[in-house]
Structure 1
């Protein structure tokens, strides 16, 4: 499947900015799952490209002029191959054991750990068992927008019993780590005609072969392995490490943000 993607974030401020710096994690990489045919990112200032510690393509933008609005725009074309497996072959990718460590957003408390153990025996972890765990998380943390925020932790979402794809991914990642399975958070896009709210999506990857550094992508919201509908954008220990746009500012007063993501088939 060939997908054309447009992702725009607009900022409006009640007062002029004095200074701002933004980090953009909006550039996908080619892998066994996908081939990036073309991609462009623009921001309110000059962009400086780099690779972060998790192997993601990053851009940094500094805005020194006074402004009351800003715009970040990413667009391109990606061909997906429906492979749920990726292998960390690049030398800039960290070892799988890094993703065993709990993080503030993806940590497991005792109830979550005990619940995970009831669904998955670490010694018997394979693709089928991991899929069963993903289905369990989806049923335990129902997809219900408006119940959580970007700061909600895995234990909070688990106890509350509802959230969005970010929360479901965090609970799954925390459960896997508590069982000794390296797992990481994935930000990306999902082609769902008629459901634009799902265009910006999140899922998880679990490493079932640490020697080969081979990861299986799991969409917890849909309780399935990732397929040709998914475009993998960035990975990290949790959302905070690979948020599409993050930064700091001085001035600006109150901020209002508008985000729009559209995905269409370019081969239809």
Structure 2
């Protein structure tokens, strides 16, 4: 599937902004799942590209208002381009990528409690490289953490989301990752995009990769929200141990007063691109 993507993040401030620094993980990379035909990122300041610790291509920019310089009350970050995807959910890391064992370590957002340990071990012990078992775990997580916006926030942990019984795709991915790691299986967070005319709220999406062959660095990509493996509807942006490590936009600022942020993501199949609408799990 050939997809046109446009991702806009707009900021408005109630007072002059004195300083801002942001890191952007908004650039998809070519791999066995996708080919990037064109991609552009823009921000209010000059962009500096770098490869982060997890192999993502990221950009940083900063802005400082000089004494007597103009006041800044608003700004926008934009990413747009064309990506061609194919349905295979399997990926193999090259030797330059971090070793998969890195993704066995818990993080503040994925630290396991007794419930997460029990969830992972009940589904995966003895079946850690079994695609059916991983999809069964995804289904169990999606059932235990109902998709519901407004219940959690970016700092909600996997244990908290499981106890609440509700959250968004980020929370479902964290619960799944924590359960996999508790069963001894490396798992990493994936940020990206998802195309469906009937699920606009999921245009910015999150799911998980699970390493099913440590020696070969082979990963299976699983969409917990839709209880399926990654297919042509998914576009990958970045990976990391959890959301905090590969958030699309993160940063700090000084001044600005109250901040109002709006995000708009538009994904469209290009004319002539092969497209098959697949029924989504509820």
Partner of 2:98: 94
The aligned residue for residue 25 of structure 2 is: 25
Distance 1:122 1:247, change over 3 A: farther
Give the C-alpha shift of residue 266 in structure 1.
1.1
Equivalent positions of 1:70-89 (< 5 A) are: 70-89=75-94
Segments of 4+ moved more than 6 angstroms: none
Whole-Å Cα distance in 2 between the matches of residues 43 and 170 of structure 1?
A: 29
Residue pair 2:128, 2:185 contacting (<8 A) in 1 also: no
SS in 2 for 1:104: coil
Instruction: Mark the CA change 1:176 to 1:97 in structure 2 (over 3 Å): closer, same or farther.
Output: same
Distance (whole Å) between structure 1 residues aligned to residue 165 and residue 154 of structure 2: 16
Three-state SS of the structure 2 residue aligned to 1:155 is: helix
1:51 matched to which residue of 2? 51
- Matches for 1:140-219 after TM superposition, within 5 Å: 140-219=144-223
- 2:76 is paired with a residue whose SS is strand
1:237 counterpart residue number: 241
Q: Deviations over 1:186-217 (max 9, x none)?
A: 00000011321110000000000111111110
The question of whether the paired residues in 1 share the 8 Å contact of 2:191 and 2:238 is answered with yes
Q: What's the TM-score once normalised by structure 2's chain length?
A: 0.93
Instruction: For residue 125 of structure 1, report the CA deviation from its aligned partner.
Output: 3.2
1:69 to 53, 68, 74: 74
Identify if the C-alpha distance between structure 1 residues 189 and 124 changes in structure 2 by more than 3 Å, giving closer, same or farther: closer
SS in 2 for 1:137: helix
Secondary structure in 2 matching 1:99? helix
After superposition, the C-alpha distances for 1:198-256 in whole angstroms (9 at most, x for unaligned) are 10000000000111111110000000001000001100000000000000111111111
Cα contact 1:140–1:158 (8 A) shared by 2 = yes
Please give the alpha-carbon distance, in whole angstroms, between the structure 1 residues aligned to 2:123 and 2:217. Answer: 24
Cα RMSD (Å):
1.0
- TM-score with structure 1 length normalisation? 0.97
Q: How many positions carry a matched residue from both structures?
A: 267
Aligned to 2:137: 133
SS in 2 for 1:103: coil
Q: Secondary structure at the match of 1:26?
A: coil
1:90 positional shift: 5.2
Is there any run of 5+ residues in structure 2 with no aligned partner, and where?
66-70, 273-282
